Amino acid sequence: MKEPKYLVEDLYTADPAAHVFNGKLYIYPSHDIETGMPENDNGDHFAMRDYHVYSMEEIDGKVTDHGVILDVDDVPWSGRQMWAPAAAAKNGKYYFYFPLKDKNDIFRIGAAVSDKPEGPFIAEKHPIMGSYSIDPGMFEENGEHYMYFGGIWGGQLQRYRDNKAIEVGAEPADEEPALCAKVVRMADDLLEFAEEPKDVVILDEDGNPLKAGDHDRRFFEAAKMHKYKEKYYFSYSTGNTHLLCYAIGDNPYGPFTYKGEILSPVVGWTTHHSICEFKGKWYLFYHDCKPSGGKTWLRSVKFVELEYNEDGTIKPLDGMS
């Protein structure tokens, strides 16, 4: 497939996490719900309260909606706003990760477990110890699982330094190093961190960390990892400049050297994605707001084939297509 295609039309979905389990493609999106609340930079107009999961046996085949796999009322520590999720599998168990504000309106990352990739999932009684901010993205290699996470502004990453909350959270000055996404290796049970989260450092062409004022290239949210031809591709959203970009490194921790754009701006403010190989081809899953007439809080997941150049760079795509 060369033209983008929407996943479903009967529900507003966003922030897709695409995973292959048991030969099927599973997409775990967030769920946008009309609120009538004015938009703001904290994302209060996103009243997302549950998750569905969808599956496909072929990329152009039937899409099966497996229904609600987790609701905010199913999470013992829940407050509000279930944002972009992710999933993983190990030893016949399936793990679902989700950012959710606790009862103090602070984002934590929760975990839930099921015997099936389509759920339903049972949430743990507490968020992952040491977790904060938003947008978990999962990567597995040689039996080890890594979580990438973080998001500034409404995602609250600016409130932390060195994995600790600070008194007055703010972005660094323009000439200071940009805030970094985080990467952490998961414990054997996939329910806790096995270490302290580390910075995902993105370097420019001269080997210097990107600056906070470099809004066209610096990390904002949607931290994702995939591997292609022995190289590690860290992809992410630039947020207020509405780009999907990527950087390449030699291991899951980085550092990563900035390489370019994957997707130009879409209709709508937010840009969030995942990249997945399925039956020998690569696909980009993302969202836009065309079906809702451009309402930025009512998004729809779409997907398109992703292609690479001979040198391993990604062929950029037009977000308006």
Predicted confidence (pLDDT) per residue in 231-281, tens digit = 999 999 999 999 999 999 999 999 999 999 999 999 999 999 999 999 999
Predicted structure pTM score: 0.96
Predicted confidence (pLDDT) per residue in 17-39, tens digit = 999 999 999 999 999 998 777 77
Of the candidates 205, 221, 230, 288, the residue annotated as catalytic is: 221
Give the class (CATH, top level) of 5-306.
mainly beta
Predicted confidence (pLDDT) per residue in 45-98, tens digit = 777 999 999 999 999 999 999 999 999 999 999 999 999 999 999 999 999 999
| Percent of the chain with pLDDT strictly greater than 90 | 92
Query: What does the mean pLDDT of the chain come to?
Result: 96
Read off the tokens for 209: 């960390």
Q: Is residue 15 flagged as an active site residue?
A: yes
C-alpha pair distances (Å), 159 with each of 10, 100, 154, 270, 314: 37, 16, 10, 21, 33
The candidate with the shortest Cα–Cα distance to 149, out of 138, 165, 160, 164, is: 138
Above 90 in pLDDT, residue 42?
no
Above 90 in pLDDT, residue 286?
yes
Q: Cβ contacts of residue 164 below 8 Å, gap of 6+?
A: none
Query: Which helix H or strand E contains 5, and what residues bound it?
Result: strand 5-6
Q: Is residue 221 flagged as an active site residue?
A: yes
E strands in 11-130: 13-21, 24-31, 50-56, 64-71, 78-82, 86-90, 93-102, 107-114, 122-123
Above 80 in pLDDT, residue 44?
no
Q: What is the pLDDT of residue 40?
A: 73
Of the candidates 3, 15, 102, 214, the residue annotated as catalytic is: 15
Phi-psi region of 320 (alpha: psi -120 to 50; beta: other; left: phi over 0): alpha
- What are φ and ψ of residue 2, in 5° steps? -110, -20
